[in-house]
């Protein structure tokens, strides 16, 4: 009470001022908020890609569905060495080998199935392959009606 | 013969009623579409743009989707009240709209008690929300219904007091008279007669600015729109009182909410923004009192003002976060009601002492 007049000489930290009337009624902040949203509303926005019409270019190294490659004679490059199947952490590659009819290799795959529902698209098969026969493509959006359709056989993989 | 039929007052009355009801029901899908589009633009998105040109048929698709959903009544629900609740939200809202003068002599029902009828019927909506919350046999619904009732009752007081201020200014509870009077009262602001602002500064929003602000805030709360949408806040109550509703029962709730928003905006236009009058242009005088053009133009003007208010409702919804429950009650009881009471007292005092510079009264 007695020290009211020498308020300025208090050595303690200044009391934080309560919000003033303008702040407590929120009037100005409300106007500011409305102005902000109005600004956003009339902003020309180029961020959205209209998906089916506009497709984004896949990033380099994007890992989508697999493809089996052919050599220059049109034969599949795979020699059924089982390295991809061994490297696969999801155990989704099933290979049955048979004797190759050609002189430059001993084996070729009779069966080469990849369960795309199991695959985790890690790309380890591609890295393990000694013949550069399997690779991951950027294709990511092939739907199917049944689970069976997502087990790709050799022909499907060769045509991918 | 045909002339007799179309000039029969009952036929005209039925025609007007059908027109207004039909128009209100047709506006709602468009409103839903615009709400979604505007929300998207405000949030830098695109919004529904696939169904029909620019996505304009999206509401149709929504309604078809809702109509084909399974209509579930939860176990332990109070069946009749459960079925009644959506109708009790929807019917009062659209019934209240009937007394709004959307144009010169264009009301579904014109009677002297306009504003009293509107407030009375409009406040029945709270029963729908409370019943829906109670009958669903769900804790979230119950809390939503409770919140809705508490909130609507609280804000109805402030809303009613703001309306009474306007009624005192206009000296009438007939909505047509209130509209007419907002044009003919002349334009003065704090006693200064500003030349060229006749019919604009005489709007009640300038004569009763405080009442206008209170009415606006309270109408947000009455229609459960976003700064006050605690009854259905998703974060804590799933869907509030309509958590358990599905299919067309949910659609009716939804419809009722939008019609309530429409009615509140229309009431705001009528009470504060000059109704169907255009500033600076006396349409009935120019086009002739009984001309069909007068009616069409006045409906157009009303629709224009209504569109702006509806846009404002949507704009506010996507700009601000929700109140906390105690903040809501604090605002309602400790701020809006005293302010509106004060405004009421000031209006009364101004009327008695003839303070025309403060509140220009029509005498």
Q: Tokens representing B27?
A: 């506006």
Chain A CB within 8 Å of residue B316 CB:
yes
**CA–CA separation, B122 and B259 (whole Å):** 11
Residue B232, in any domain of the structure: yes
Mean pLDDT across chain B: 82
Q: Tokens representing B355?
A: 């303070």
Residue B167, in any domain of the structure: yes
Residue B74, in any domain of the structure: yes
Q: Name the region of B209 (left: φ>0; alpha: ψ -120 to 50; beta: rest).
A: alpha
Residue B278, in any domain of the structure: yes
Chain A residues within 8 A of B46 when measuring between CB atoms: 45, 48, 50
Domain extent at residue B84: 68-353
Residue B277, in any domain of the structure: yes
**CA–CA separation, B109 and B17 (whole Å):** 7
Residue B151, in any domain of the structure: yes
Residue A115, in any domain of the structure: yes
Assess contact for B265 and B257: CB atoms under 8 A.
no
Q: Tokens representing B212?
A: 């206008």
Assess contact for A133 and A76: CB atoms under 8 A.
yes
Q: Give chain A's radius of gyration (CA, Å).
A: 33
**CA–CA separation, B232 and B286 (whole Å):** 48
> Among all chains, which residue has been given the structure tokens 């079925």?
B83
Asked whether the beta carbons of residue B44 and residue A34 sit closer than 8 angstroms, the reply is no
Average pLDDT over residues B265-290: 78
pLDDT the model gives residue A88: 92
Residue A83, in any domain of the structure: yes
pLDDT the model gives residue B195: 56
Chain B residues within 8 A of A36 when measuring between CB atoms: 319
Residue A101, in any domain of the structure: yes
Chain A CB within 8 Å of residue B315 CB:
yes
Which residues touch B160 (CB under 8 Å, ≥6 apart)?
Answer: B119
Residue B7, in any domain of the structure: no
Q: How far is B105 from chain A (nearest CA, A)?
A: 36
Picking from B44, B316, B320, the nearest residue to A40 by CB comes out as B44
pLDDT the model gives residue A2: 45
Residue A24, in any domain of the structure: no
Please tell me the total count of domains within chain B.
Answer: 1
Asked whether the beta carbons of residue B41 and residue A38 sit closer than 8 angstroms, the reply is no
Residue A152, in any domain of the structure: yes
**CA–CA separation, B102 and B269 (whole Å):** 10
Please tell me the total count of domains within chain A.
Answer: 1
- Dump pLDDT digits (tens) for B34-66: 888 888 888 888 888 888 888 888 888 888 988
Under the banding of pLDDT at 50, 70 and 90, the label for residue A89 is: very high
Residue B41, in any domain of the structure: no
- Residue A137 belongs to a domain with what CATH number? 3.30.70.3270
- Dump pLDDT digits (tens) for B212-230: 999 999 999 888 887 888 7
Average pLDDT over residues B121-126: 85
Q: Which of B116-125, B234-243, B267-276 shows the lowest per-residue confidence on average (mean pLDDT)?
A: B234-243
Complex ipTM, two decimals? 0.74
């Amino acid at each position: 009470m007695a020290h009211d007049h020498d308020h300025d000489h208090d050595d303690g930290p200044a009391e934080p001022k309560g919000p003033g009337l303008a702040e407590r009624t929120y009037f100005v902040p409300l106007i500011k908020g409305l102005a902000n949203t109005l600004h956003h509303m009339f902003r020309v926005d180029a961020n959205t890609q209209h998906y089916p019409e506009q497709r984004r270019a896949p990033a380099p190294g994007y890992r989508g569905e697999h493809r089996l490659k052919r050599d220059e004679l049109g034969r599949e490059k795979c020699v059924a060495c089982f390295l991809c199947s061994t490297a696969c952490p999801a155990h989704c590659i099933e290979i049955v080998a048979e004797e190759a009819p050609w002189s430059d290799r001993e084996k070729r795959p009779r069966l080469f199935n990849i369960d795309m529902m199991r695959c985790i698209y890690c790309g380890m098969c591609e890295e393990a392959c000694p013949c550069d026969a399997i690779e991951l493509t950027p294709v990511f959006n092939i739907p199917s009606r049944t689970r069976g359709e997502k087990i790709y056989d050799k022909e499907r993989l060769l045509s991918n | 013969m045909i002339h007799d039929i179309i000039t029969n007052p009952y036929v005209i009355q039925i025609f007007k009623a059908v027109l207004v009801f039909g128009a209100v029901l047709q506006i709602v899908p468009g409103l839903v579409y615009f709400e979604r589009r505007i929300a998207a633009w405000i949030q830098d998105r695109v919004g529904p743009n696939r169904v029909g040109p620019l996505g304009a048929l999206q509401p149709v698709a929504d309604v078809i989707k809702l109509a084909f959903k399974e209509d579930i009544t939860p176990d332990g629900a109070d069946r009749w009240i459960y079925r009644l609740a959506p109708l009790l939200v929807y019917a009062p809202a659209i019934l209240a709209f009937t007394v709004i003068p959307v144009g010169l002599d264009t009301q579904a029902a014109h009677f002297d008690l306009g504003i009293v009828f509107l407030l009375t019927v409009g406040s029945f909506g709270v029963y729908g929300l409370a019943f829906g919350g109670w009958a669903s046999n769900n804790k979230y619904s119950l809390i939503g219904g409770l919140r809705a009732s508490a909130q609507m009752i609280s804000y109805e007081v402030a809303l009613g007091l703001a309306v009474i201020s306007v009624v005192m200014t206009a000296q009438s509870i007939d909505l047509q008279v209130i509209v007419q009077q907002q044009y003919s009262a002349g334009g003065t602001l704090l006693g200064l007669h500003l030349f060229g602002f006749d019919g604009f500064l005489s709007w009640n929003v300038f004569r009763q600015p405080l009442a206008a602000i209170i009415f606006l805030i309270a109408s947000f709360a009455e229609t459960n729109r976003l700064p006050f949408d605690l009854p259905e806040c998703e974060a804590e109550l799933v869907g509030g009182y309509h958590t358990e509703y599905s299919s067309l029962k949910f659609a009716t709730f939804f419809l009722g909410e939008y019609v309530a928003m429409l009615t509140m905006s229309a009431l705001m236009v009528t009470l504060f923004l000059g109704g169907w009058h255009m500033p600076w242009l006396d349409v009935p005088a120019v086009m002739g009192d009984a001309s069909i053009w007068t009616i069409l133009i006045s409906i157009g003007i009303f629709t224009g003002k209504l569109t702006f208010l509806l846009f404002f409702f949507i704009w506010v919804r996507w700009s601000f976060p929700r109140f906390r429950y105690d903040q809501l009650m604090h605002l309602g009881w400790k701020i809006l009601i005293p302010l509106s009471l004060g405004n009421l007292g000031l209006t009364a005092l101004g009327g008695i002492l003839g303070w025309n510079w403060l509140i220009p009264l029509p005498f």
